Structure 1
Amino acid sequence: MKKKVAKFSVLPVVGASIFFYSFSTNKAQDINTALLEEFKTVNEELTFEVPYSPDAAVFDPQLRSYPALGKSYVAFKEALGFKESGGDYKVINEFGYMGKYQFGRGTLKLIGIRDTNLFLNSPDLQEAAFYANASRNKWILRKDIERFEDQVVNGIKITESGILAAAHLAGPGNVKKFLRSNGTNSFSDGFGTSIKHYFKKFEGFDTSFVVPDRKAKANSPSVI
């Protein structure tokens, strides 16, 4: 009898275990299902779409934009300064010409500048010197400008800006010689740059801003 009792007493335990295990498994599945549904609900609430926006142009650091200067006086002097020195205010070439516009000491004295150290360290003074020199040259060459402007001399169209650029390179005296010899009496500087090149390269700029003045001086405290 003990054997039977023992045998039958095990069955309820096993049955209870199976029932408990089945109940626990079902409950766990229900919990997992509930959590999954809750996650889906929350996830749906958090889901959103980014509004469409048109493609924007990508900035290219290699591309640079500069103000359009056209043929203005500023364009004229900047082009001339770049040709003379690459726009370097402090450069001195092998012949002793100084600054952005490559002035010699003699020309600087004519427009009232004797302190070359101050000149080299003052961009404002160099810009004032350029204008003063152009103003003085325009007065010296006023008759030649009136006579030769828009004429063709030795195959070169003559303009006021070309005359002033050539005078900056060669001095007003050599410009007179070139024009009045019908282009046969030319000039080249120490680097071989021809006055003809300046007539051509700088033609057609608006230099009406420059007022002719025989006594033009650079406006600076160091001017004597």
Structure 2
Amino acid sequence: MRKWICLFCPLIMILMLASFGTSPKNEIKVPEALIVREPTPVLFPKDRTKVPSSMVIPPFVGSSFVGFKEALAFKESQGNYFTINTLGYLGKYQFGIGTLQLMGVYNATQFLNDPTLQEEVFRTNLSRNKWILRRDIRRFVGKTIRGIEISESGILAAAHLAGPGNVKKFLRSYGQLDVADAYGTSISNYLKKFSGYDVSAIVAEKNPKI
């Protein structure tokens, strides 16, 4: 009896294993509801005002105009609308009183406490600088000066730092006349740091006012 058991047990085991191994894989079916046939849209509340600010993921700004202005603001003030630096420059983009007056803003307290006004002033000043530097933008964009590829966004950022007149001098001297602010940041530094952003939305305008 034991001999028969010893002979048939291995044969039975082989048959069982073979039956599992030869079962076609397509016998296991995924429920229709779980089959992904196309990309699933990302779910996000349409009304973002109801989402806690700590949970709202900002859009990818990259080299867009928003990316440009936020990068510049971070360098100037870390994006703080309500700050004044040691030299008396105001707000998110660090404007001086003289520049504000050129654009028709005379109340520094109102300016410092009004983020919307600060954004309007920033765009207006870009339009003003773009008008002043329009010929230099056409002449120098795409060229390399002191190892820096000149771009329109770099020129406008440098004008924000040191004024359009100083940027003209830098470009027309091919980098010989570089200017730095009181903290040691130079025109060449801004030309390099803020190169390659899309500022085409800014329209050059002569003597724009708020």
Matched AA of 1:205: Y
Q: What TM-score does the superposition give when structure 1 sets the normalisation length?
A: 0.68
| Structure 1 counterpart of 2:40 | none
> Which one of the candidate residues 130, 136, 148 is aligned to 1:138?
130
Q: 1:176 maps to what in 2?
A: 168
Runs (4+) of structure 1 moved beyond 2 Å?
62-66
In 2, Cα distance between the equivalents of 1:137 and 1:191?
A: 22
Distance 1:126 1:195 in 2: 23
Structure 1: gaps of 5 or more residues: 1-61, 219-224
Correspondences of 1:120-135 after superposition (within 5 Å): 120-135=112-127
CA distance in 2, matches of 1:125, 1:138: 20
Which of 104, 107, 111 pairs up with 1:115? 107
Structure of greater Rg: 1
List per-residue Cα deviations over 1:116-145 (Å, max 9, x = no partner): 110000000000000000000000000000
Does the residue aligned with 2:199 lie in a helix, a strand or coil? coil
Mapping for residues 62-141 of structure 1, pairs under 5 Å: 65-141=57-133
Counterpart CA distance in 1 for 2:208 and 2:69 is: 17
Structure 2 unpaired stretches of 5+: 1-53
Measured in 2, the distance between the counterparts of 1:154 and 1:182 equals 8
Per the TM alignment, residue 176 of structure 1 is displaced from its structure 2 partner at its CA by 0.3
Amino acid at match of 2:68: F
- Tell me if 1:213 matches 2:201: no
Deviations 1:67-103 (A, max 9, x none): 1012111111111011100011110011010000000
Report the Cα distance in structure 1 between the residues aligned to 2:209 and 2:84, rounded to whole angstroms: 22
Question: Under a length normalisation based on structure 2, what TM-score does the superposition of the two structures give?
Answer: 0.73
Superposed CA offset, 1:137-158 (max 9, x none): 0000000000000100121110
Q: CA deviation at 1:65?
A: 4.1
Number of aligned residue pairs:
157
> 1:217 Cα deviation (Å)?
1.6
Fraction of identical pairs, as percent: 58
Amino acid at match of 2:177: N
Shift of 1:66: 3.0
